[in-house]
């Protein structure tokens, strides 16, 4: 069985209970898996006590599952989108430790985005996002789409391309560095069949973005989430940022859920 077939088999899908209008693709964090993340995610409730499947009956939810990879820092195998040395220093990349996994994951997520767009009626009906390492992987995949999608939703994430974008002004050197970074995450064969340029990347960043983090996150420091917000803002993205006092390495409830619901409704209406 191919890596792609295994990837799709391991995905967890929750079908809509009414006419299919949108799809939301959410990536789990490092060490978790699709079914576990989906189960915990759907336990969340808005302030009116409704669950997300009740709020969005026409939405299909797709939870892809990362491959099992050997984690050098933990010296064990686990589900992870790519290997990494440290969450506290996520861009530390000795000997390109992150590139093989990131490249494979980005390609597969890009394929899921295209597949769901074809099923539901367009990229403007597809949301993408994730938590923690899943957020970092999802934002990387977004940059390869070449067009805006309905919205991006990130929880407890960080910027995987932070070292190639300046903190203030997006200069030509930043553009070249970002283009090189994105192209590196795509196999040469894929780059040949669907070439990307900086205008395509910038078009992807017309996607509205919601980023949430908690100040008591003990796994991914809130400063890294703020950095992702800052970098995306420099790139010209429309970013809605909210740092909550409590919630740990998870989603604030119910206020964070309310914020996500509001964002989804507004983005779907405007798409």
- Domains of the chain with CATH codes: 3-270 (3.40.50.1820)
Cα 3 from Cα 37, distance rounded (Å):
21
Predicted local distance difference test score (pLDDT) of residue 7: 55
What local confidence, expressed as pLDDT, does residue 246 receive?
95
**Which position has the higher pLDDT, 262 or 7?**
262
Residue 5 pLDDT more than 60?
no
Sign for the pseudo-dihedral over CA of 250, 254, 255, 261 = positive
Mean pLDDT estimate for the chain: 91
Region 15-21: mean pLDDT is 97
Residue 192's pLDDT is what? Answer: 61
pLDDT in tens, 70-116: 998 888 999 999 999 877 777 776 557 888 899 999 999 999 999 99
As a whole number of angstroms, the distance between CA 30 and CA 81 comes to 7
Residues 6+ apart with CB under 8 A from 151: 127, 128, 129, 207, 208, 209, 210, 263, 264, 267, 268, 271
- Residue 204 in this model has a pLDDT that exceeds 50: yes
- CA-CA distance, 35 to 10, in Å (whole number)? 9
pTM: 0.94
Element (H, E) at 63: strand 59-63
> How large a percentage of the chain has pLDDT more than 70?
93
Mean pLDDT score, 242-262: 97
In this structure, what token pair is assigned to residue 189? 């064969």
70 neighbors 76 (Cβ within 8 angstroms): yes
Between 196 and 262, where is the model more confident?
262
- How far apart are alpha carbons 177 and 80 in whole angstroms? 26
Which span out of 89-93, 184-188, 246-250 was modeled with the highest average pLDDT?
246-250
Alpha helices in 91-221 (DSSP H): 99-120, 133-142, 172-184, 188-193, 198-204
pLDDT at 1 over 60: no
């Amino acid at each position: 069985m191919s890596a792609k077939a295994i990837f799709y088999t391991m995905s967890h899908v929750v079908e809509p209970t009414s006419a299919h209008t949108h799809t939301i693709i959410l990536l789990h964090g490092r060490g978790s898996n699709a079914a576990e993340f989906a189960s915990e995610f759907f336990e969340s409730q808005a302030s009116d006590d409704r669950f997300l499947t009740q709020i969005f009956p026409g939405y299909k939810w797709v939870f892809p599952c990362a491959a099992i990879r050997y984690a050098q820092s933990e010296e064990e195998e686990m589900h992870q989108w790519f290997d990494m040395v440290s969450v506290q220093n996520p861009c530390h990349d000795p000997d390109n430790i992150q590139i093989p996994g990131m490249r494979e994951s980005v390609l597969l997520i890009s394929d899921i985005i295209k597949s769901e767009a074809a099923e539901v009626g367009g990229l403007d009906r597809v949301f993408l996002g994730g938590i923690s390492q899943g957020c970092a992987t999802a934002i990387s995949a977004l940059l390869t789409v070449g067009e805006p999608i309905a919205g991006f939703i990130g929880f407890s994430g960080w910027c995987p391309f932070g070292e190639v974008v300046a903190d203030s002004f997006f200069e030509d050197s930043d553009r070249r560095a970002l283009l090189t970074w994105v192209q590196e995450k795509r196999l040469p064969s894929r780059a040949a069949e669907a070439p990307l340029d900086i205008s395509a990347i910038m078009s992807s960043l017309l996607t509205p973005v919601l980023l949430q983090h908690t100040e008591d996150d003990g796994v991914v420091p809130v400063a890294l989430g703020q950095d992702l917000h800052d970098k995306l803002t420099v790139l010209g993205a429309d970013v809605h940022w909210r740092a909550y006092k409590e919630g740990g390495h998870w989603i604030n409830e119910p206020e964070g859920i309310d914020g996500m619901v509001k964002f989804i409704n507004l983005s779907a209406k405007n798409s």
